[in-house]
Structure 1
Amino acid sequence: MSGQTKYDEHAHLVEKMAEVLGVDLDEETMAGRWTPEDMQDTVSRCLGCTDPSQCKGWLGSHDAGADETPGFCRNKDLLEAMRARLVSA
């Protein structure tokens, strides 16, 4: 798998995880709270995951949404902080 393809796969996982948590990354970008650099950093952490299939399985079983990020997610703290800010707004 090429580096770009692997990056794209993990970018999709980040986007899907945010979506499942109710975080709209496009909206966050338009509001100035999320930058392309933030996305790169988040995807870079995701790329360090040793078992992306575990994430895919979790996402597949949470299509209706979730209140928290799974413990194995390398972006758990970031995504939950984003979700908490949105929920409290």
Structure 2
Amino acid sequence: MMKFGTYETHARLVERMADALGVDLTERAQRGEDLSETEARNRVHRCQGCTAPETCVTFLDRLAQAGDKAPSAPDFCRNRDELARLAAE
């Protein structure tokens, strides 16, 4: 499998996906509501293991262009369940 981007690339994808679901990870971290730093890194590592990062970028770009939020992360998203839980809080 070809690697897609750097750790920072995937950190931005995680942040964008969270934003698309209405989850402000930065704000949660500043308020001490987010998971540990280790869990935050694990989200990025899960994203790095994704087999469809280009599809993720397309999904996020379309949402951004339309000014929409997503009701949920795509089925292929390895952070889908965690982000859904955070969005529900």
Matched, 1:21 2:25: no
Could you say what secondary structure the match of 1:62 adopts?
A: helix
1:37 is paired with a residue whose SS is helix
Correspondence for 2:84: 80
Aligned residues: 82
Which of structure 1's runs of 4+ aligned residues deviate more than 4 A? Answer: none
Q: Which runs of 5+ in 1 are unaligned?
A: none
TM-score, reference length from structure 1: 0.84
Q: Secondary structure at the match of 2:15?
A: helix
Within-5 A mapping of 1:5-84: 6-34=6-34, 35-63=36-64, 64-84=68-88
How far apart, in 2, do the equivalents of 1:33 and 1:48 lie?
26
1:52 maps to amino acid: P
Shift of 1:36: 2.4
Q: TM-score, normalised by structure 2?
A: 0.84
In percent, how many aligned pairs have the same letter?
40
